[in-house]
Amino acid sequence: MVELKLSNKEAYYQQTLENIPSKTPFSEFWRKFKKQKLAFVAFFFVIALILLAFIGPFITPYDITEPDYENVLSGPSAEHWAGTDAYGRDIFSRVLAGTQISLYVGLTSVLLGAIGGTFLGIVAGYYGKRIDSIIMRICDVLLAFPGILLAIGIIAILGPGLGNVIIAVAIFSVPMFARIVRSSTLAVKSTLYIEATKSIGTRPKRIIWKHIFPGTVSSIIVYFTMRIGSAILTAASLSFLGLGAQPPSPEWGAMLSGGRDYLNMAPHVTIFPGLAIFVTVLAFNLLGDGLRDALDPKIKE
Amino acid sequence: MKKTYGWLSAFVLVLLLVLVGCSDSGSKEGATEKEGDGKKATKEGKDLVIAVADNFTTLDPHDTNDTLSNSAEKTMMEGLLGFDEKMTVVPLLAEEYKANDEATEFTFKLRENVKFHDGTPFNAEAVKVNFDRLADPNSGLKRHSLFALIKSTEVLSDYEVKFTLSEPFGAMINTFAHPAALIHSPKALEEFGDEVGKNPVGTGPFKFVEWKPSEGLKIVKNDDYWNEEFPKVDSITFKPVSENGSRIAMLQTGEADFIYPVPTEQVEGVNGKNGIEVDSKPSIVVRYMAMNTMKKPYDDVKVRQALNYAINKDAFIKVVMNGQGEKLDSVIAPDVQFYSQQELYEFNLEKAKELLKEAGVKEGLKAKLWGGNSSSTVKAMEFLQQQLAAVGIEVEVVPMESGTLSDKIWSVQNADDAELELYYGGWSPSTGDADWGIRPLLGGADAFPPKSYNVSYYDNEEANKLISAGLQTADENKRAEAYADVQKLLWEDAPWVFLSADNTLAGKKNYLKGVYLLPDGSLSVSEAEIE
């Protein structure tokens, strides 16, 4: 009897253990994130965009550089879903092929900016004192410039081209990342477990890598996602101004620029690349919003 | 959750806007098929407003090198000679003129009883004062170069004046008709000195009132004008409006009666609607792609001809000029004096490829095409890039901001150091004479940058001889012959890819008469009239 009771109890415990959801940080995040319906949709849209960036250039219905002078500026039709541009090139194909360029520019530039900014932010936050002052004052100077103006200035020095746009956007992403990472670093640094780690004589390098950096990751991810949107927008603006992608590249901003003379008579030339920029930036921003809500422990359900 | 709804509603709003935009374009397409709405616009009063693209730089014609400021100056001042609508020379303040056969002496008989706006009488002395000012090498005037050849100006009598040149110059009559030779009141020149550009006083049909660079220029009717038929309007205000869309809107709302220029892609949208007419006329502005004839492979005439065959000029005009232009069939446009038509390089890819092969040019030749960064120039360069790709030439389009561009081209001191390979550009010879359409662009080593505009670095002895032959005489027949020969030679030697001659495009309300553009792109408003 006693044995039986015991086994019953065991079974009971086992059952309850299975029922209680395992609270790993990721599953907790995923559970919260799924509740953000809009961000959830944006998440899948972004995944789709990334897929498109890889396969886009291979699935275009028309050659993106092949002109067709008999068929210029024609509106959307069954043959050309988004119409044709001033040279008779298929706009839908060009928007598809342009996905790769915009995402590439957005992701690389923000990644570079995030790496630089995170490094500076952690160094400033962890070591403090003079290093902190110097780094943060430099960031203040950079932040005092309006972003696009700073980017134009950098391009003016480096010369136009997509590579330089990436560098320009990366540079003006650095100070914001540095600031955010610094503040997280300060918060983590003053916690008890860091004090404990220090007191047993762990080296700074190990403290930073194993304890502080992981603590800042969530804010980096959120800002990273939000930043991609504005990076894509800035890159498109620079191309619109003729400072970024050069013709005949199907970069969205460059396409907008090429179509602006026809706004009155052929608005589709600007609407479709404009819509692509709009939807992409919106998706990244919504995703960023959702990630923030899901990752922020202060927000209660 | 509130935020979510905010985003959603913003999205829906934008989507709606886009849909409205789309449906609007649909209805517009239907409307363009009809030939305008036949509406007649009406106007109260006789005060005109003209919207132009840029600010005027000065109102001193002797110191002006832009066509737009010239247009404004011509309303208030007149020269001895002028141009009519077809750019042929007509007498204005001179009644007749004579030239000797060597083209070194020019005698003018002046119109009598003409007064400047300040009351000073117009006579031979006034002419001398003006041309002495222009011919003075120390004057620092932008237009000195056109008149540097004048050795002396003599007053023969009150109404007779004789110019003597230091060397023969056959195109001098056209130079006298150029807006740079407009005549200031000698009293004003004395009174205002260097400030005369802000206080223009002439003999023209309109008098100066005020000029504020950002707001515009106002002129009123000159009641004592020597030609009693004109002027027929009370006042004219010129407003600088650089934004294409705003200029069009001003014409549509009636805020402006005349606008210039109308962007080529807007013509279809406004012409014939709401009482708006767009005047499209052939101009003397030529468009070409220059090839550096000192660089390989463009030093080979076969390559240059091949490129001419490789470009579809019909498509160029349709796509780049929106149909507003003609194929260029010589180095100068038909309205330039001594133009002679050449046989077109018909679009022929096979022939182009064959010629390139004969010249030993392999597929995948890389080339850099330079040009300005305005949207129409970039469009033209992209077009050339696409066309040349078809014969295996990979062109890199390099649009440059105008400062950078002129630095790159005109700071090169030694022709051998020039980086330039291909250059897309345009030229308008504002004297209306063949000489100014050919010599600065293709006139041998004397015209190489930085001295002049020979960006093809084209230096052909025979061409140089013919060009100077055209200047050695005032005999029209001999000049015509020399220019016919040089045009044939240049056409066959093909230092350019010959593209198109522009149309000038001006928009006006259909009650307005007598305001028109000359083929060089300058504006004539002296005969303005409201119906």
Q: Is B523 in contact with B260 (CB distance < 8 Å)?
A: yes
With 50 as the cut, is the pLDDT of residue B223 above it?
A: yes
With 80 as the cut, is the pLDDT of residue B34 above it?
A: no
* Cross-chain CB nearest to A72 (options B18, B319, B386): B319
- Lowest model confidence (mean pLDDT) among A201-210, B137-146, B323-332: B137-146
Would you state the pLDDT for residue A299? Answer: 61
Residue B359 has phi, psi (to 5 degrees) of -80, -5
Record: contact A246-B386, CB cut-off 8 A: no
Q: Over the stretch B377-403, which tens digit does the pLDDT of each residue have?
A: 888 999 999 999 999 999 999 888 777
Would you state the pLDDT for residue B77? Answer: 93
Q: Over the stretch B438-450, which tens digit does the pLDDT of each residue have?
A: 998 998 888 888 7
Q: Which of residues 263-282 of A touch B (CB under 8 A)?
A: 263-268, 271, 275, 278, 282
* Cross-chain CB nearest to B319 (options A69, A76, A268): A69
d(CA B378, CA B397): 8
Name the minimum distance, in Å, from the CA of B261 to any CA of chain A: 14
The segment with the largest mean pLDDT, out of A197-201, B1-5, B373-377, B460-464, is B460-464
Would you state the pLDDT for residue B288? Answer: 95
- Lowest model confidence (mean pLDDT) among A261-275, B34-48, B129-143, B378-392: B34-48
Would you state the pLDDT for residue B66? Answer: 79
| Partner B contacted by A65 (CB < 8 A) | yes
* Cross-chain CB nearest to B386 (options A67, A262, A286): A67
With 60 as the cut, is the pLDDT of residue B328 above it?
A: yes
Burial status of residue A38 (CB atoms within 10 A of its CB: 0-12, 13-18, 19 or more): buried
Would you state the pLDDT for residue B79? Answer: 92
What are the percentages of helix, strand and coil residues in chain B, rounded to 5?
A: 35, 25, 40
Confidence bin at B27 (pLDDT 50/70/90)? very low
Confidence bin at A170 (pLDDT 50/70/90)? very high
Confidence bin at B3 (pLDDT 50/70/90)? low
* Long-range CB contact pairs, B184-192, < 8 A, 24+: B184/B60, B184/B61, B184/B62, B184/B77, B184/B130, B185/B116, B185/B117, B185/B118, B185/B120, B185/B126, B186/B120, B186/B125, B186/B126, B186/B129, B186/B130, B187/B116, B187/B118, B187/B120, B188/B116, B188/B118, B189/B129, B189/B130, B189/B133
- Lowest model confidence (mean pLDDT) among A24-38, A88-102, A150-164: A24-38
Q: Is B486 in contact with B465 (CB distance < 8 Å)?
A: no
Q: Of all helices (H) and strands (E), which one includes residue B279? A: strand B276-291
Would you state the pLDDT for residue B521? Answer: 83
Q: Which of B87, B91, B140, B139 is nearest to B114 (CA)?
A: B91
Instruction: Kindly state the average pLDDT of the residues A78-97.
Output: 89
Q: Over the stretch A219-265, which tens digit does the pLDDT of each residue have?
A: 898 899 989 998 999 999 998 888 888 778 899 998 998 888 788 77
Would you state the pLDDT for residue B31? Answer: 36
Q: Over the stretch B242-259, which tens digit does the pLDDT of each residue have?
A: 777 788 889 989 899 999
Record: contact B22-A267, CB cut-off 8 A: yes
Specify the DSSP class assigned to residue B342.
Answer: -
B20 to chain A: closest CA residue: A267
With 80 as the cut, is the pLDDT of residue A16 above it?
A: no
With 70 as the cut, is the pLDDT of residue B415 above it?
A: yes
With 60 as the cut, is the pLDDT of residue B295 above it?
A: yes
Would you state the pLDDT for residue A293? Answer: 85
With 60 as the cut, is the pLDDT of residue B26 above it?
A: no
| Partner A contacted by B451 (CB < 8 A) | no
With 90 as the cut, is the pLDDT of residue A11 above it?
A: no
With 70 as the cut, is the pLDDT of residue B9 above it?
A: no
Q: Over the stretch A44-60, which tens digit does the pLDDT of each residue have?
A: 999 999 999 998 888 88
With 60 as the cut, is the pLDDT of residue A301 above it?
A: no
Would you state the pLDDT for residue B6? Answer: 59
Q: Is B399 in contact with B378 (CB distance < 8 Å)?
A: yes
> pLDDT higher for B406 or A123?
A123
* Average pLDDT of chain A, as a whole number: 86
Would you state the pLDDT for residue B33? Answer: 37
Confidence bin at B25 (pLDDT 50/70/90)? very low
| B89-91 and B516-517 beta bridge pairing | unpaired
Would you state the pLDDT for residue B205? Answer: 93
Name the minimum distance, in Å, from the CA of A36 to any CA of chain B: 9
Confidence bin at B23 (pLDDT 50/70/90)? very low
Would you state the pLDDT for residue B14? Answer: 57
Record: contact A282-B11, CB cut-off 8 A: yes
Would you state the pLDDT for residue B38? Answer: 66
Instruction: Kindly state the average pLDDT of the residues B463-490.
Output: 90
d(CA B356, CA B361): 5
Percent residues over pLDDT 70 in chain B: 93
Q: How many residues does chain B have?
A: 531
- Lowest model confidence (mean pLDDT) among A137-141, B10-14, B146-150: B10-14
d(CA A294, CA A300): 10
* Cross-chain CB nearest to B382 (options A37, A88, A248): A248
Record: contact B379-A258, CB cut-off 8 A: yes
Would you state the pLDDT for residue B243? Answer: 77
With 80 as the cut, is the pLDDT of residue B240 above it?
A: yes
Percent residues over pLDDT 90 in chain B: 41
A253: its two tokens: 């901003």
Q: Over the stretch B54-74, which tens digit does the pLDDT of each residue have?
A: 888 889 999 887 788 889 999
d(CA A273, CA B334): 42
Record: contact B25-A265, CB cut-off 8 A: yes
Q: Which of B393, B344, B337 is nearest to B500 (CA)?
A: B344
B237: its two tokens: 């205000």
| Partner A contacted by B252 (CB < 8 A) | no
With 80 as the cut, is the pLDDT of residue A274 above it?
A: yes
Specify the DSSP class assigned to residue B261.
Answer: P
> pLDDT higher for B472 or B117?
B117
> pLDDT higher for A265 or A278?
A278
Cis before B440? omega within 30: no
Q: Is A172 in contact with A145 (CB distance < 8 Å)?
A: yes
Would you state the pLDDT for residue B28? Answer: 37
| Residue type, position B362, single letter | K
d(CA A47, CA A156): 34
Q: Which of A217, A218, A249, A242 is nearest to A104 (CA)?
A: A249
Q: How far apart are the first and last CA of chain A?
A: 46
Q: What is the pTM of this model?
A: 0.77
Would you state the pLDDT for residue B483? Answer: 93
